[in-house]
Amino acid sequence: MNARVLVVDDEKLIRWSVGERLDRSGHEVWTAESGERALEMLAECRPDVMLLDVRLGQLDGLETLRRALVSRPDLVVVMMSAHGSIDVAVEAMKHGAVDFLVKPFTLETLDAAVDRAAAAAAVRRQMSSAVELSPGGADALIGDSAALREIREVVTRLASSKTTTVLIEGESGSGKEVVARAIHFGSPRAGKPFLEVNCAALPESLLESELFGHERGAFTDARIQKRGLVELADGGSVMLDEIGDLPAGGQAKLLRLLEAKSFRRVGGVQELYSDTRVIAATNADLERRVADGTFRADLFFRLAVVRIIVPPLRDRRDDVPALAAFFVARYNQETNGSARGISPEAIERLVSYHWPGNVRELRNVIERAFALHPDLDEIRPEHLPPTLHARDPAASPGGHESPLTLEAAERRMIHDALGRAHGNRSQAARLLGVTRDTLRYRLKKFGMG
């Protein structure tokens, strides 16, 4: 990840060598020979990252750090010093530095420190732009991956269409509802209702009534006439989540609505009309359900005029920093918090995790940090749940499968159970069929908690 970097050191050779290395790595580089000049350049070049020497001239590094963060609280600062005492490092961290390089350092160490700082800077930029937490249209889709850019492009194109039916496919928690809302609020229907129903959450007897309404006396408990979501959302959009669980009767009614914009309430004879856009979502393989006869082929093809596939978060890890920054900004606002971002080490943990619970799990991780540490100024590794501290044993750094040993299999089972339980050890122990004490022993044995 490239960044704008300001290198501050009173030794010309160090400024030159560090600058040359970073320039060859693709960063935009400026240099300053003093703290005074560095403060002037903050406004001139607007760096994302500042490499700052502790020992400067009249204005030393620590004072330069303090003044710099007053005018640029989003700036990510890495301190450099040939005098690598713990006291100096602690003092620098207390005043807002994110890292500390002890001279002489290798070029590889420099690269790693700047890469971490650049990632932290990207998160802080995302937080600065996340002031509006419920934007409309494609802007609501947070992320920088190629997949998200493609989805944003499709959503933008759909803005000119009021009626096109959309089918959104993806795992649970991957963000299908966010895409549906982006389609609605980015279209001419934005001023009308956006209503949603989970087709798997209601019994068949109630689902049709929820969607299409019912007449008084249509069934035992129908004491009054009820208007359904399709009728209430006239002019707007209805999202049908888990569309694969819509029963056969509801499928037939939905097909008629899509074809003729007409429907009847349950128990009714009057033909009603509704100009409602239908956005369907599913985590099931609808084509397989069509093949086995549990889902109507004609309805599938009518729903899938535009198909949007939302990849799981593990397949678009480039989106993790931006999403994490968005949730930090969100919980800052909801809790009146003042977290300025996420440390580079914590970002590395977030990006390397495999996210079985997708975006919903990432949101829960950030919410947990705020709930357990209400006064945090930055999310650091110790604020993350145990699941994010365990190395994923399924793959080696080169991306190849690691040897299948009993220990590796046991680590993976524990890792997955903690992921499914969102870090709750008692629940994870129940999933594994062991006692909480046994799980605690295994976590300690494998260095996982």
Q: What is the pLDDT of residues 314-361, one digit of tens each?
A: 999 889 988 998 899 888 888 888 888 888 888 888 988 999 899 999
Buried b / exposed e over 138-160, threshold 16 CB at 10 Å, is bebbbbbbeebeebbebbeebbe
CA distance 117 to 121: 6
Coil, strand or helix: which one is 186? coil
Under the banding of pLDDT at 50, 70 and 90, the label for residue 402 is very low
CA distances from 299 to 209, 261, 388 (A): 19, 14, 42
pTM, two decimals, is 0.63
CA of 298: how far to CAs of 103, 163, 186, 260, in Å? 69, 18, 28, 14
Amino acid at 275: D
Least confident of 233-247, 248-262, 381-395: 381-395
Percent of the chain with pLDDT over 70: 87
Which amino acid is present at 323?
L
Question: HSE on the CB side for 416, CA within 13 Å?
Answer: 10
Report which DSSP code applies to 188: T
* Residue entry with tokens 């969100």: 330
pLDDT of residue 242: 92
| Cβ pair 321, 313 in contact under 8 A | no
Instruction: Check residue 213 and give left, alpha or beta (phi > 0: left; psi -120 to 50: alpha).
Output: left
What strands lie across the sheet with 49-53, from one edge to the other? 28-32, 4-8, 49-53, 76-81, 99-102
pLDDT tens-place string over residues 51-70: 999 888 888 888 899 888 88
CATH code of domain 314-445: 1.10.8.60
pLDDT digits (tens, 9 = 90+) for 269-287: 889 999 999 999 999 889 9
Architecture of domain 137-309: 3-Layer(aba) Sandwich (3.40)
Q: What is the mean pLDDT of the chain?
A: 83
Report the amino acid identity of residue 421.
A
Q: Is 46 helix (H, G, I), strand (E, B) or coil?
A: coil
H runs (alpha helix) in 2-52: 12-24, 35-45
Q: How far apart are CA 239 and CA 231, in angstroms?
A: 13
Q: Are 92 and 56 in contact (CB under 8 A)?
A: no
Label residue 227 by pLDDT band (50, 70, 90): confident
Domains 4-129 and 137-309 share a fold: yes
Neighbouring C-beta atoms of residue 115, cutoff 10 Å: 18
**Scanning the structure block, which residue is given the tokens 């300690």?**
444
Give yes or no for a contact between 312 and 355, defined as CB atoms under 8 angstroms apart.
yes
Which amino acid is it at 126? Q
Residues in the chain: 449
Amino acid identity at 85: S
Contact 267, 215 (CB under 8 A): yes
DSSP 50: E
Architecture per CATH, 4-129: 3-Layer(aba) Sandwich (3.40)
Q: Where are the domains of the chain?
A: 4-129, 137-309, 314-445
Q: What is the pLDDT of residue 128?
A: 55
Give the residue, 3 or 220, on which the prediction is more confident.
3
Tokens read off for 63: 């004072």
